[in-house]
Amino acid sequence: MTMSVLLTGGAGYIGSHAALALLQSGFRVCVIDNLTNGSTEALRRVQEIAGKELHWVEGDVRDGHLLRRLLIQHGIEAVLHFAGLKSVGQSVLDPLTYYDNNIGGTLQLCQAMSEAGVHKLVFSSSATVYGDPATIPVVESCPTSSPENPYGQTKLMAERMLSDLARADARWRIAVLRYFNPAGAHASGLIGEDPREIPNNLLPYVSQVATGRLKAVQIFGNDYPTPDGTGIRDYIHVVDLVEGHVSALKRLKNQSGLDVWNLGAGRGYSVLEVIKAFERVSGKSVDFNYAPRRSGDIAQCWADPSKAWRELGWKAQRGLEEMLGDAWRWQSANPNGYRDDELTI
Ligand code: NAD
Ligand code: WQD
């Protein structure tokens, strides 16, 4: 029988790609999003690509009453919880908003799920919970450390809350997925990352320099102990990432308690390597200059994703150039993101 799933934050970057992958894998999809950083146009395009409909509600995950109603009315069996705020810098300036949204939202969601008798959950965590990892590649057993910023704290606290919940009640089955650096877009070029403000993350920034919307990339530090002095990260294609969610969701049937998986490609690229590869793939030049290190950044980080391969049968299939090519197809076809086509569905 077709399984119904609820995606919180499904109108955002990763959630919209997940909605598409789930529709294409035969799930019935229901989305709740308060549109603080999501777009109804993304959902319209998801349905266009899939040739299938999803159900969508504008609402907040901190609204327990609405959540309970959705869970029950739509016969939801599992929830993928993407909803949250994700700007590291903003979280330092406005920590209460981050704790309220990310911790308050996860708490309300779990309470509503518990009341509705829904106990399968896939949670969007982040490699940020490892802080500056002691050993690289990072395995899931690597100690989590106290992240320097409130955003990272909310991810670690939410993980702890879910772990306590799974220990207290054996009905819960929870997959915690620690993302490394999601990037790229669906190959159609119809959906992608659409930050409302000036991007904080490298890839959307580089893409917007290539379209001429921004002037030059500031490379935060060229004196790291890495081969070219710039920071190294594990960029993972967003379509690979969401396929990891489909695998984790399928495994929840046979899982008990909470388990954690790294979702990364398993190799790192430096900022300079990314910029050079982007220029090759797009045929555009990307101006850059060197700036001081960004506070809180680490030199290098990449995943050991072998646990996900062993246990979920998942590994990233798409390489850096495909990721950048897809990011460029999206950005060049939609230089203003979804704004030109935003409408209500
Ligand atoms: P995004 O901002 O594009 O998507 C998040 C969505 O959640 C948005 O559509 C937003 O409108 C919605 N939302 C926020 N607060 C809400 C609330 N209270 N109620 C309902 N909807 C709400 O971000 P994304 O990149 O798609 O990230 C998805 C999840 O993955 C987040 O939890 C994020 O912290 C996590 N994550 C992202 C990255 C990354 O680099 N993109 C890395 C690691 C983890
Ligand atoms: C990547 C590299 C920068 C922008 C953050 C969050 C993490 C997760 C993913 C989630 C670093 C350099 C960047 C720029 C630059 N977020 N850079 N110029 O910092 O690895 O991770 O996003 O929800 O929790 O911390 O990603 O894309 O910001 O940076 O030189 O304009 O690019 O210094 O080396 P990061 P990023």
Question: Which tens digits make up the pLDDT trace of 65-102?
Answer: 999 999 999 999 999 999 999 999 999 999 999 999 99
pTM (two decimals): 0.98
Domain count along the chain: 1
Count other C-beta atoms under 10 Å from residue 1's C-beta. Answer: 5
Position 340 scores a pLDDT of 76
- Which atom of ligand 1 lies at the shortest distance from residue 39's CA? 9
Measure 68 CA to ligand 2 centroid, in angstroms: 36
Contact 219, 210 (CB under 8 A): no
Kind of pairing between the strands at 269-270 and 232-233: antiparallel
Q: What's the CA gap between 25 and 27, in Å, rounded?
A: 6
Contact 36, 85 (CB under 8 A): yes
Measure 145 CA to ligand 1 centroid, in angstroms: 22
Long-range contacts of the stretch 131-135 (C-beta < 8 A, 24+): 131/298, 132/298, 132/299, 133/298, 133/301
Cβ 200 under 6 angstroms from ligand 2: yes
For 189-213, the pLDDT digits (tens) are 999 999 988 999 999 999 999 999 9
- Which atom of ligand 2 lies at the shortest distance from residue 126's CA? 24
Q: What's the CA gap between 142 and 10, in Å, rounded?
A: 30
Question: Which residue type sits at 97?
Answer: T
- Which atom of ligand 1 lies at the shortest distance from residue 83's CA? 7
Could you tell which of 294, 300, 324 is best to mutate to test the pocket of ligand 2, judged by most ligand atoms within 8 Å of the CB? 294
- List of E strands, 255-331: 257-263, 269-270, 288-291
What's the domain range around 82? 4-341
Contact 170, 256 (CB under 8 A): yes
Q: What's the CA gap between 192 and 329, in Å, rounded?
A: 9
Measure 10 CA to ligand 2 centroid, in angstroms: 22
Position 254 scores a pLDDT of 87
Helix (H) or strand (E) holding 217: strand 217-220
Position 148 scores a pLDDT of 81
Cβ 34 under 6 angstroms from ligand 1: yes
Could you tell which of 201, 230, 236, 289 is best to mutate to test the pocket of ligand 2, judged by most ligand atoms within 8 Å of the CB? 201
Of 151, 179, 205, 235, catalytic? 151
Cβ 231 under 6 angstroms from ligand 2: yes
- Which atom of ligand 1 lies at the shortest distance from residue 38's CA? 9
Encode the chain (345 residues) as per-residue pLDDT tens digits. Answer: 689 999 999 999 999 999 999 999 999 999 999 999 999 999 999 999 999 999 999 999 999 999 999 999 999 999 999 999 999 999 999 999 999 999 999 999 999 999 999 999 999 999 999 999 989 999 999 999 878 899 999 999 999 999 999 999 999 999 999 999 999 999 999 999 999 889 999 999 999 999 999 999 999 999 999 999 999 999 999 999 999 999 999 999 888 899 999 999 999 999 999 999 999 999 999 999 999 999 999 999 999 999 999 999 999 999 999 999 999 999 999 999 998 776 544
Q: Copy the structure tokens of residue 275.
A: 């910029």
Measure 200 CA to ligand 2 centroid, in angstroms: 7
Q: What's the CA gap between 344 and 113, in Å, rounded?
A: 28
Kind of pairing between the strands at 55-58 and 217-220: unpaired
Cβ 226 under 6 angstroms from ligand 2: no
Cβ 77 under 6 angstroms from ligand 1: no
Instruction: Write down the residue that tokens 């409909």 correspond to.
Output: 53
Beta-bridge partner residues of 123: 81, 176
Position 342 scores a pLDDT of 67
Position 196 scores a pLDDT of 87
Q: What's the CA gap between 272 and 288, in Å, rounded?
A: 9
What CATH number does the domain containing 168 carry?
3.40.50.720
Residue 151 known to be catalytic: yes
Cβ 105 under 6 angstroms from ligand 1: yes
Instruction: Write down the residue that tokens 């934050």 correspond to.
Output: 9
Cβ 220 under 6 angstroms from ligand 2: yes
Judged by DSSP in three states, 295 sits in: coil
